[in-house]
Amino acid sequence: MNDLVKMPPFFVANKGERSAKVGLILSTAPERCVVRFTGGCGHMSAADASGLYELFVEAFVQADFKGAILYGGTRMLRRDNPKIVVPGITEIPPLIANRSKQVVSMGIVPRTSDLSFNEFGLIVSSEPGNDFFTIVHPLQKEFLIVQSSVDVPANWDTEWQECVTIIESLRTYSKWQSVLICYNGGEVTERELLATAELGWPVMLVSGSGRTTDKYAQDEYFLAQHPSVLVVDKEVTAIRDGLIKLSGSIPRWMELRGTSDQNEKEKYVQ
């Protein structure tokens, strides 16, 4: 029975439903900023995935981030050897939460097929043609699984659409800031990026991360039309500074530097 108590709770919602519980859980983060991670998963190249985890974990730790994180909440395992984890953006939030204990993370999992269990966990996707299958992330504590209905599965866009809904509630009714971080990614990432930029919410594009993110990071017309979009280099201090600037949250170490660094603070937070 004790093992059952330790199992991570998860909530199930039909598309379009708004959950009070999810918003309230996120609200327990000490800082009113929610970061949404989107981007490369199964189709990211090995080169684009190289150093990915250290890059973000170190940037978030240096930024002293104490807000909430929304992400896909899944892990990909190799079909030929399920003990091998396929690198992806969804590996980052559990690592950040592990280093920064006050961070509150929530996995938003679209139910794209019937759920099933095997010895590796709860399988949310096992598409023919992919050399990996996807399970709910074993290190994630809380999930929201979103479906269209019992009989009708959701698609992968449901994840970001649900996140937009949650973030909109936090921004409108609880005075939160939000940051969408894009790294690599394909068509679904592109639709999320464009929808978020269109709303005028802060977006951070990591230049050099590949595919969709690079396409828009290099699109001067797009950037000129969307001033809430910030392009940062693929390195720790750039991501850290971008996070500080977009979240509007000054880390403690910067506060401790004293009044002489007021100009530096203003450089970060606008």
Partner 1 sequence: MNSTAVTPMTVLQHPYRVTAPGGKLHLLIMNASDGLPAAFALMGTNARDKIAVRISGGCKGMNAEDKAEMLDYFAHAFDGYGGVVWSGATRQFKEEAVDPMVTDVPGVIAAFNPGCVALGTLPRVDLLSLQGDSRLVLDQYGTGPNPSMSGILIVQNGPDGKLDWDGDLNAAFGIMENWRQYANFQKLGFIGWNGGPITYNEVVRSAKLGYLTTVVQGSGRAADEIASAIQTGNSTLGGKILEGSINVVPRENPQQLRDLLIANGFLRQ
Residues at the interface with partner 1 (CB under 8 A): 17-25, 27-28, 166, 169-170, 172-175
Cβ-based nearer residue to partner 1, 68 or 206: 68
Q: What is residue 138's DSSP assignment? A: T
Please enumerate in sequence order all residues whose Cβ is within 8 A of that of 121, keeping only pairs 6 or more positions apart, or say none: 75, 135, 136, 138
* Minimum CB distance to partner 1 smaller for 24 or for 85: 24
Nearer to partner 1, 134 or 177 (CB): 177
Distance in Å, CB of 102 to partner 1, minimum:
12
Q: Which two tokens stand for residue 162?
A: 């649900």
Shortest Å distance, C-beta 22 to partner 1 = 7
DSSP for 215-240 reads HHHT-HHHHHH-TTEEEEESSHHHHH
How far apart CA 175 and CA 52 sit, in angstroms, is 31
Nearer to partner 1, 18 or 267 (CB): 18
Which class for 48: exposed (0-12), middle (13-18), buried (19 or more C-beta within 10 A)? Answer: buried
Q: Write down the least CB distance from residue 144 to partner 1, Å.
A: 12
Residue where the block lists tokens 């309230």? 24
C-beta of 162: minimal distance to partner 1 in Å?
12
- As measured in angstroms, the least distance from the Cβ of 177 to partner 1 is 14
Query: How many helices (H) and strands (E) are present in the chain, helices listed first?
Result: 12, 13
Asked if 246 and 230 count as a contact pair (C-beta separation under 8 A), the reply is: yes
Q: Do the Cβ atoms of 144 and 10 come closer than 8 Å?
A: yes
- Residue nearer to partner 1 on the CB measure, 100 or 184: 100
